[in-house]
């Protein structure tokens, strides 16, 4: 099949039939079978249009990314329209015929493969730009490196900063708590932080010009944005973890859920 790059499926803000079906299935399995519950804090901070309806065209930064359940928690917690477009690990989401079929049917995935160089980055940027211009929400989990203790965030990669710089779209951090340990009846928390522009994150004037692509100035600004995003999310990550720590004596049934999607 090769290694597909760019956006899988059409660029659109409207949820496809497959997307709606999966969203309903996730909610049924998560709530009725696995007894998961998610508390959403700060839902009023989600971008909205002038008529009050949910707006698209922004970048969702999910963190910390602990287990397979994270993107499903985000999908279930946010409105279904406009739809989410996810960056995902290419080898993981295409490693079986069933997963390949699901991705093609649902659409809205930008696979990331090892290596690829600048051409791969350009394909990722093009896919994200098309989705954002169509009014979708682009969601990625920007952490890199080995795991860190619960309640902390791993170092962030530069990819999110580059996507924000090239598209000049706001970033909305979505802080997850409780997803590092899965069992039946688990309680999660998703905290929506205030939307931030790249100029907010880089401490630039609102009308400042952004640097040209692939320039040293862009690299320096991407580093600054990444450090700032890590700083503003550190305390909310710790708070979300503390809020979802099970009380002593909690029975942890169905521990196999930890690796159910591996």
Alpha carbon distance 123, 166 (integer Å): 13
Domain ranges across the chain: 17-259
* Residue of higher predicted confidence among 109 and 1: 109
Torsion of Cα atoms, 84 then 88 then 94 then 99, to 10°: -40
Percent of the chain with pLDDT over 70: 99
Task: Give the pair of three-digit tokens for residue 125.
Answer: 């940027």
Predicted confidence (pLDDT) at residue 1 exceeds the cutoff of 60: no
**Is CATH 1.10.3470 the classification given to domain 17-259?**
no
Residue 103 has a pLDDT of 85
Predicted confidence (pLDDT) at residue 4 exceeds the cutoff of 90: no
Average pLDDT, integer, range 109-127: 85
Task: State the number of CA atoms in the 13 A half-sphere of 41 facing the CB.
Answer: 16
Residue 113 has a pLDDT of 85
pTM of the complete model: 0.94
Among 187, 234, 242, 9, which Cα is nearest to 104's? 9
Rounded to 5°, the CA angle 175-17-15 comes to: 40
Predicted confidence (pLDDT) at residue 131 exceeds the cutoff of 60: yes
Predicted confidence (pLDDT) at residue 2 exceeds the cutoff of 70: no
Among 69, 47, 68, which Cα is nearest to 58's? 47
Predicted confidence (pLDDT) at residue 262 exceeds the cutoff of 70: no
Cross-strand bridge partners of residue 240:
none
User: What is the average pLDDT score of the chain?
Assistant: 93
Predicted confidence (pLDDT) at residue 170 exceeds the cutoff of 70: yes
Q: By CB neighbour count within 10 A (0-12 exposed, 13-18 middle, 19+ buried), where does 2 fall?
A: exposed
pLDDT digits 0-9 by tens, 201-259: 999 999 999 999 999 999 999 999 999 999 999 999 999 999 999 999 999 999 999 99
Number of CB atoms found within 10 A of residue 150's CB: 18
Average pLDDT, integer, range 53-79: 96
Residue 31 has a pLDDT of 95
């Amino acid at each position: 099949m090769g290694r597909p790059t760019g956006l899988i499926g059409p660029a659109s803000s409207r949820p496809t039939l497959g997307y709606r079906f999966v969203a309903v299935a996730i909610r049924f399995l998560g709530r009725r079978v696995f007894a998961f519950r998610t508390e959403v804090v700060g839902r009023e901070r989600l971008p909205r249009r002038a008529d009050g309806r949910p707006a698209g065209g922004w970048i969702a930064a999910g963190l910390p990314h602990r287990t397979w359940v994270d993107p499903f928690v985000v999908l279930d917690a946010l409105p279904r329209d406009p739809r989410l477009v996810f960056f995902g690990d290419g080898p993981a989401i295409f490693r079986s015929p069933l997963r390949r079929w699901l991705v093609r049917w649902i659409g809205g995935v930008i696979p990331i493969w090892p290596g690829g160089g600048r051409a791969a980055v350009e394909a990722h940027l093009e896919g994200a730009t098309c989705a954002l211009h169509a009014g979708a929400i682009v969601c990625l989990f920007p952490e890199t490196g080995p795991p860190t203790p619960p309640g902390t965030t791993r170092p962030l990669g530069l990819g999110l900063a580059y996507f924000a710089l090239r598209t000049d779209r706001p970033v909305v951090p979505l802080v997850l708590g409780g997803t590092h340990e899965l069992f039946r009846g688990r309680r999660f928390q998703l905290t929506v932080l205030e939307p931030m522009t790249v100029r907010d994150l880089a401490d630039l004037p609102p009308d400042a010009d952004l640097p040209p692509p692939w320039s040293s100035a862009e690299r320096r600004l991407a580093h600054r944005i990444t450090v700032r995003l890590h700083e503003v999310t550190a305390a909310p990550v710790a708070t979300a973890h503390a809020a979802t720590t099970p009380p002593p004596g909690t029975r942890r049934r169905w521990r196999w859920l930890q690796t159910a999607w591996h």
